[in-house]
Structure 1
């Protein structure tokens, strides 16, 4: 190895380019088993973000099942999930373009099953006894009122849709018992989100397909229920945070849910999307589960008879989408040195095999920054958490005495959790000489309900304080340059970013990806799923209108004193484009450097390769101009007004 070159932070040449990231990276998830065949979904930026169903046969043959132009993706709750089902080679899926259900037989083109309508479908299961599908339905027919959510059946002969369960604002997770005689489901009502308060119910399924009177199983005030599953012997399992942590419970003939293995750990996570699977049965006696503590995920085996709980030693720190047979476990796994992948674990030998990686890039470890878990003091004597990535590039070192710029990431949700899995987008920054801090601010998942509830009535305060205090902690530790601090985030993280830039003076630049700037506008103009979210995060609207105004960055652009770049999908229904455009105009009028990069055809989050590349390079270019360093490679510039 040659001696490293001396060059300022930010100007290091990296092999981890945006072209390589988007060309070689795909999204992986939604694993399903059908006999000996394994299925999963691949989100492909190079195909316009199309979501493609892939089958892996026992002989190792991998086949794309979804032909162009079909896109396996539902928009129920706007975030989707649970978009397909496969049974005996027959596939049922939601097609993104028209949101209708399609049936696809082996070696054939998909055929539409449901009649053309404004209804959307998700979380699909099969009711073999009545030759029908059961799923969640979101009816968007009347544009002048909120969509109506229900659980419906879809006749497999003629596509007829019938309502089975209605009356609540939201539904998820319809699950049939093994004998087909009982249906379980989760429901919740405004102003709650499913991680605030939700309920699980059971009803008998009559011979004619209608349901008997529902029986409430669990879901008291301030209790969140998720992931119901039936065991082979007909017991109902689910996760509940009634103890303060999402632990697993079993509901049997006693009529009282019993905890399986109480721990101060989370065995599930917020129900933003359908189709979660953090546990699965490998046999009648054994349950395999993933759980998280302090931001790191673990895998364990729980013997349901002896209650013996054993950790399984695997090289992964992010573990999700679990599905098992008696012989092996499938999951999506990632670690600080390994990108996300579909992984197969042999349950007898404990050997793991990668079936598909999210990227085909092979990066020398000399360019990979390994995250360090940090805990730092924050407001009111509390502690917050994050993952710190030091700048790392084996070819370079900085001049003596120079400290690196820091990019603070405020994650979305705001209930999400910063992951320590290898992210080439993070390494894009660190390999060019940036330090990077991924903050698990108060409100994040993985630290129990009490930590999650730190954000109640304090969104725009607690999250901002934790991001600011994380940056200050690293400055005080002598790790980063206090004059070159930037903050970036998307969606709810975009709001935290804008609030931090507006109401604090710690950061010198920032990037907002489809971030909220006007809380009043968000309360009045967003989709049903989140339309009452701010009741808990801010207060009731319009009764507490003043609070909304006090925490809206758009109302206080006079306090902004640093440059900002904005990225926005023009078809975003969660955070509409006017949220960004009003902020851009206000900053422009103030004379501060500002850039705006809108994307046609994108919604809440960017899926197309060219737009992912443009955003990543655009943010880096923006900081290069603001912080005064010269990128090592040519980057398409963005127009910066008032520079």
Structure 2
């Protein structure tokens, strides 16, 4: 092995290789007519096609994979801005939302041209649709946008033949998960109002459908008793028309059943979780046996199990992967879902329940990289400043061709996840391995407020955003330095969106990190509260303080932009100029303030990008730019890098 400075190691995991060989995978789905079992569908996000999303299919008879939607269509809804399930399939016809105009289209076959179902230029967006054969209608979320006004959300039924729309229910600030009972007589949905988010307090409702299925019977709407201050998500009706849902009333998101007599039962009471925070609409963490048997597929803590409802017993379905999500159960007896582990890329898989054989239908990356370049994570916990506990995943530097110089410890890159109501997992992620294979250690921090550790841990961030997340990132870095695993003088931090805020807050409120990089991060939480989109417009009420005279004082105190005088390190910013979630002026304000103070500062504004980077060249430049910036600040030269960018007060 060659001895070389950490950060300067030569790695085959280049930014170009990452974008050229990888696609994003999401929204695994089956035809909503259970008799149509020949195909499974999913969405691919393709960086090398300007970040467009395409629907793909796998023919279970011929084992042929093909792209369905034409290249000039981008399958992506922007309901709640973050979107989610953007298509449905019924008897081979695909109904999908197109990103550029948010019109609902139908494509009747792989070689046909999509046709609009809804009208253009109406300011309407649609998501999470289901098709009813009984009424020949689509039921979905609709979001209406009028310039200068807050968006209006409701649930509608749509005639696929005429595009005619009928409101099912309205009046709440947000809706999700509209689902019909198997007999077509009832409908259920989840709704919530400001200042709640879907992981705070939501309500579950049922109603009777009219005889033609267009709307609901007047006076039939009922609220299901699921307790107070609980998050209820993912309702579904079983084959015998019993309502099931996920709730965190036990402190953990567990699966419940509402009997026809109105009694709710926790079907599998565990101190672990099924489901997760609903940043995106329409995910599925459980599925019913299509044969009508009283069995349920569940995914608790990423593991597939069959729950035998009558006995309450479970049976694990083992695959070569460690974690699974987006579960589907075909009438053919096969399971389809997304799967991943710390050594295997995210994949669409098929599991035959009879033979228990797992088949990979599509991998997110086609790369064949020697495992000697992959760092394997260790789950760690550490004591915080105030004697509580935080969690994370530690990745040491790893490259089979290199080792560090004698007496040298690696630099540490701490990563703060977005949300902040979200979490990191230990999946194989090339953007992370890009750094570890070049000599960086990486710590993914699941600070207090992260999901997957119960409601109490999740809610501990209430009024403490910019406090607990900052403390946990700093104490995690200091813990690893104290343990002798990293160089305490070369501590770096980065994050995107809310993780970008935590990054900026760490640099403004603490003196732990040498440098940091913000990707579309929040610099001014007061401005964010005043300017951001509807879905998150009251998010800060719980995380920090309401937007009142008194609350604004706290918002100002927690805004890194107001504490630039305390920043004593170099900072870089990467931002999309069409970001509606965190407006570009946030990055510009912070960059100008750091530059004016005389500290090294860089700003890269990506034209045409929104919240997150989807185009290949921008993903590459963000990765190479961050490594270049760290090299200039920490004093190493990245191997084989031709990337340069302007760094004020350093060039």
TM value normalised by structure 2 = 0.96
Unaligned runs of 5+ in 2: none
Deviation at residue 157 of structure 1 after TM alignment:
2.0
**What residue is the counterpart of 2:317 in the other structure?**
312
Question: Does 1:487 pair with 2:493?
Answer: yes
The alignment partner of 2:472 has SS state of helix
TM value normalised by structure 1 = 0.98
Deviation at residue 318 of structure 1 after TM alignment:
2.6
Question: Does 1:540 pair with 2:549?
Answer: no
Q: For residues 22-45 of structure 1, what are the alpha-carbon distances to aligned partners after superposition, in whole Å with 9 as ceiling and x for unaligned?
A: 000100010111222111000000
Give the counterpart of 2:335 among 326, 329, 339.
329
**What residue is the counterpart of 1:47 in the other structure?**
49
Question: Does 1:100 pair with 2:103?
Answer: yes
**What residue is the counterpart of 1:157 in the other structure?**
161
Give the counterpart of 1:136 among 126, 136, 141.
141
The alignment partner of 2:134 has SS state of helix
Question: Does 1:627 pair with 2:634?
Answer: yes
Give the counterpart of 2:505 among 481, 499, 505.
499
| Structure-1 separation of matches of 2:359 and 2:161 | 40
The alignment partner of 1:555 has SS state of helix
**What residue is the counterpart of 1:196 in the other structure?**
200
Deviation at residue 311 of structure 1 after TM alignment:
2.6
Deviation at residue 538 of structure 1 after TM alignment:
0.4
Unaligned runs of 5+ in 1: none
Deviation at residue 298 of structure 1 after TM alignment:
1.9
| Structure-1 separation of matches of 2:242 and 2:339 | 28
Deviation at residue 219 of structure 1 after TM alignment:
4.1
- Conserved in 2, the CA contact under 8 Å of 1:281 and 1:325? no
Per mean C-alpha deviation after superposition, the further-off stretch among 465-474 and 629-638 is: 629-638
The alignment partner of 1:129 has SS state of coil
**What residue is the counterpart of 2:132 in the other structure?**
127
- Conserved in 2, the CA contact under 8 Å of 1:415 and 1:444? yes
Give the counterpart of 2:614 among 592, 607, 632.
607
The alignment partner of 1:343 has SS state of strand
Deviation at residue 632 of structure 1 after TM alignment:
1.1
The alignment partner of 1:480 has SS state of coil
Give the counterpart of 2:592 among 571, 580, 585.
585
Q: For residues 392-432 of structure 1, what are the alpha-carbon distances to aligned partners after superposition, in whole Å with 9 as ceiling and x for unaligned?
A: 00101111110000000000011111110100111100000
- Conserved in 2, the CA contact under 8 Å of 1:137 and 1:150? yes
Question: Does 1:270 pair with 2:277?
Answer: yes
The alignment partner of 2:346 has SS state of strand
Q: For residues 493-542 of structure 1, what are the alpha-carbon distances to aligned partners after superposition, in whole Å with 9 as ceiling and x for unaligned?
A: 00000000000000000010100000110000000000000000001112
Per mean C-alpha deviation after superposition, the further-off stretch among 491-500 and 202-211 is: 202-211
**What residue is the counterpart of 2:267 in the other structure?**
260
1:78-97 counterparts in 2 under 5 A?
A: 78-97=81-100
| Structure-2 separation of matches of 1:417 and 1:556 | 27
| Structure-1 separation of matches of 2:228 and 2:239 | 30
**What residue is the counterpart of 2:235 in the other structure?**
228
Deviation at residue 549 of structure 1 after TM alignment:
0.7
**What residue is the counterpart of 2:298 in the other structure?**
289
**What residue is the counterpart of 2:174 in the other structure?**
170
| Structure-1 separation of matches of 2:419 and 2:283 | 16
Deviation at residue 382 of structure 1 after TM alignment:
0.9
The alignment partner of 1:502 has SS state of helix
Q: CA RMSD in A?
A: 1.0
Q: For residues 146-198 of structure 1, what are the alpha-carbon distances to aligned partners after superposition, in whole Å with 9 as ceiling and x for unaligned?
A: 11000011112211122110010000010011111111100000000010000
Question: Does 1:618 pair with 2:625?
Answer: yes
**What residue is the counterpart of 1:181 in the other structure?**
185
Q: For residues 365-416 of structure 1, what are the alpha-carbon distances to aligned partners after superposition, in whole Å with 9 as ceiling and x for unaligned?
A: 1111000000111132211100000000010111111000000000001111
Deviation at residue 55 of structure 1 after TM alignment:
1.1
- Conserved in 1, the CA contact under 8 Å of 2:568 and 2:599? yes
| Structure-2 separation of matches of 1:84 and 1:218 | 31
| Structure-2 separation of matches of 1:624 and 1:268 | 40
- Conserved in 2, the CA contact under 8 Å of 1:197 and 1:219? no
| Structure-2 separation of matches of 1:185 and 1:379 | 42
- Conserved in 1, the CA contact under 8 Å of 2:166 and 2:215? no
- Conserved in 2, the CA contact under 8 Å of 1:621 and 1:635? no
| Structure-1 separation of matches of 2:485 and 2:354 | 45
| Structure-2 separation of matches of 1:218 and 1:102 | 37
1:442-453 counterparts in 2 under 5 A?
A: 442-453=448-459
| Structure-1 separation of matches of 2:154 and 2:452 | 30
Give the counterpart of 2:576 among 569, 574, 583.
569
| Structure-2 separation of matches of 1:257 and 1:100 | 39
- Conserved in 2, the CA contact under 8 Å of 1:344 and 1:354? yes
Deviation at residue 256 of structure 1 after TM alignment:
2.0
Deviation at residue 288 of structure 1 after TM alignment:
1.2
Deviation at residue 315 of structure 1 after TM alignment:
3.0
